[in-house]
Chains A and B, each alone.
Chain A
Amino acid sequence: MPRLCENRIDNRHGHAAFRGALRPSSALPGRAGAGYTARMAQGFFTRLAQPGRFMRWSGAALPWIGGLSGVLLLAGLYLSWFVAPADYQQGETVRIMFIHVPAAWLGVFFYGAMAVSALGTLVWRHPLADVAQRAAAPIGAAFTLICLVTGSLWGKPMWGTYWVWDARLTSMLVLLLIYAGLIALWRTIEDPGRAARAVAILTLVGAVNLPIIKFSVNWWSTLHQPASILRMGGPTIHPTMLYPLLVMIAAFSVLGIALHLAAMRTEILRRRVRTLAILEAERLDAPSPAAQAA
């Protein structure tokens, strides 16, 4: 298969999605009158997003981002353990919130990141978008799971049960199920380019559906549990708890970005290894010149 081979060598970083149809985004038909700065910014991000360049800058930035998330996490944990007061009703268990809320935020955030990456995959066929999307799914699923687990650990002393079919809990559970479906679909399709496009379509269909699911679960929950007293948060949060929470949210966000970058780097390296293995197999497979001439 010389054609395939050529394609793969041409595409040194091993992205099968890099087909002939890909044009640099500067060559995309831009709308007349688009702002110069917008084009500049687009050019800047396009350059940053070239896989080779991405590997260089992300490799340099990753220790700093990781370190920053470590510092923020330590500060946030200190604030939430020693500075924030215990709640007058919930006691010490309120501290679970400092893990729970940031995890919930990141679980939702990574789905949004996947939806944006899915657009990048389908519209611009950008190989890095595939990678970003694939790397985001397990991280988002993990944070969603953390949110659910911490929520149910908090629920046992507060509500007297690990699980309540509350609207918010149920929505997060459905989000986890959707993540599971996306990851499963990705693992089923072998070719990374095809898998990326399939998952991108499913991600977007899911993104259209998520608000509908959220709305219907709210409807369902109010229908089944009128006058629910089981509400988190309750009255507006006191500043002594708000600041630790904000620090923790920042820490988790930076941690999420660091994990995402690391996972993207791993995925790029994995694809390079895959491409090298295919090239090597093709080289070993190729018939000798004499046989070809015959």
Chain B
Amino acid sequence: MDKTMAMPLYLIKKRRIKRFYLMITLFFVIIQLLWVGIPIFMAIMWSLVNPDDAWSYPNLIPPSFSLEQWRYVFNYTNIARALKTSYSIAPLAVILSFLLSLPTSYVLGRKDIPGKKVFMLVVLLPMIMPGMVVALFLSRVFNLMGLSQTFLGLVLAHTLMSMPYMIRVMTTSFASIPQDVIDAAENLGAGTFVKIKDIFLPMIRPGLIAGMIFAFTTSIEEFNLTFIIGTPTFETIPTILYSFMGYNFIRTNASVVSLLMMTPNIIMLFIVERFLKSDYLSASLGKM
């Protein structure tokens, strides 16, 4: 006897709905994989093109593979120096933007101050204005302050470009902390330090980590300001990438530099993902 015949109608419906959701999920997972995967796959393919055997229409994959494009980038660009500089600046810019954003975000997230909305908009300005416009104006300020061509200047420049992300995300985190948790802590005698350590920091942790990811990737990808105030003394990965991506776009070399820039970021995202799993805020609200 057919089992489904004996099955009640509501169960058959439930099974169909379940199957439908499964199909939809599968569809989006595949789309997502293609969306992210195809560009990465193409970058890998282009980075392995043999210069003596061009990859052209109608070949779907390169006719032969070679590491020559990688050798070219390492031999003929300052990529090693750029990697070192980029990964020296980014962590410092993240720490500095965290320290500078913390009080700002606290005030914006938890206090009612006049002109709060205007201030929020001003904070976002570096994100809204075109990068080269910000760079050209700021370079004058950096020149006047003697910060051009210095490592300190670059850290400050990257901090400035990272801060809007950090402030925005952390402000939302601060705003979401329930007042009754703070009141309860105060009733139990918690001082400012205890409140920061045991309530604010754990509860804003997901936001803080998200802000740090934004700040880190912004720093790693920052081109305009770095090029204007940093080169020739300092070169970062994007300053090399842009030589192959801009006017003189060369897919093979650009792919190599893109992969070099992308790989550490992806590894970092996976590491950070682990921290995001413990969510104090959700726990405090009983939603974990």
Same assembly: no
Binding site for B on A (CB under 8 A): none
